[in-house]
A and B are shown apart, each in its own frame.
Chain A
Amino acid sequence: DAGVTQSPTHLIKTRGQQVTLRCSPKSGHDTVSWYQQALGQGPQFIFQYYEEEERQRGNFPDRFSGHQFPNYSSELNVNALLLGDSALYLCASSRGNFYNEQFFGPGTRLTVL
């Protein structure tokens, strides 16, 4: 079992560009949540996808959007990048959208110049 995988590992973009991050959940999991972790901070919840729909959303602007595919993998898209979007983006998967242990991937480190 590969666990939760994320790609790419690192990414460098410039202000105003758009970025897409990818996540494959752990085998048997159908729910994907995305978190943003700024340097020295705890992760902050962006949104959650279940049954290909956004089910919950944190306090993030519409520049942050996502998608879940029929195979349960997910993408996080960020438009019009700002310097403040530089962070570690973590994906977590779980089974069902109620309580179940969430397994986190290693993250994608995004740097915006």
Chain B
Amino acid sequence: GEDVEQSLFLSVREGDSSVINCTYTDSSSTYLYWYKQEPGAGLQLLTYIFSNMDMKQDQRLTVLLNKKDKHLSLRIADTQTGDSAIYFCAESKRGTASKLTFGTGTRLQVTL
């Protein structure tokens, strides 16, 4: 079945790198996403990766996908206080790409 898991909390110092991890169970997952949710706000798509890719880089964000282990990670370089938020990993499948299955979210706290 579909299951996406994340650790609940991560604390990093401003300027350090953050790595948020996610595991998923469904090998037919085709698209994998990272969303950011700030307090009282909706979800903002940060980046996504197709399952036939290993890595994607977009400015301060690097996504790594290990399809064999069904492991996805999001690295944020030079983490800033404005990066404090909840980060959700999500997956979808070919043909049902609008149906997203989300993890429980990782709360990132950035300290000075």
CB within 8 Å of B: which residues of A?
A: 4, 31, 33, 35, 40-45, 48, 55-56, 58, 90, 92, 94, 97-107
Contact = CB atoms under 8 A, between A and B. Distances in A.
B99 A42 contact: no
- Chain B interface size, as a band, is 20 to 34
A26 B23 CA distance: 31
B88 interface: yes
16 contacts: A4-B42, A31-B98, A41-B104, A41-B105, A42-B103, A42-B105, A43-B43, A43-B100, A55-B98, A58-B99, A97-B98, A99-B97, A100-B98, A101-B45, A102-B98, A104-B42
Contact of A56 (B48, B96, B104, B105): B96
Contacts of B73: none
A102 B105 contact: no
B41 interface: yes
B31 A99 contact: yes
Nearest to B40: A106
Contacts, number: 60
Nearest to A6: B42
Interface of B: 4, 31, 35, 40-45, 48, 88, 90, 92, 95-105
Contacts of A92: 43
A94 B96 CA distance: 13
Given A41-B104, A104-B44, A33 B97 contact: no
Given A40-B104, A42-B105, A102 B45 contact: yes
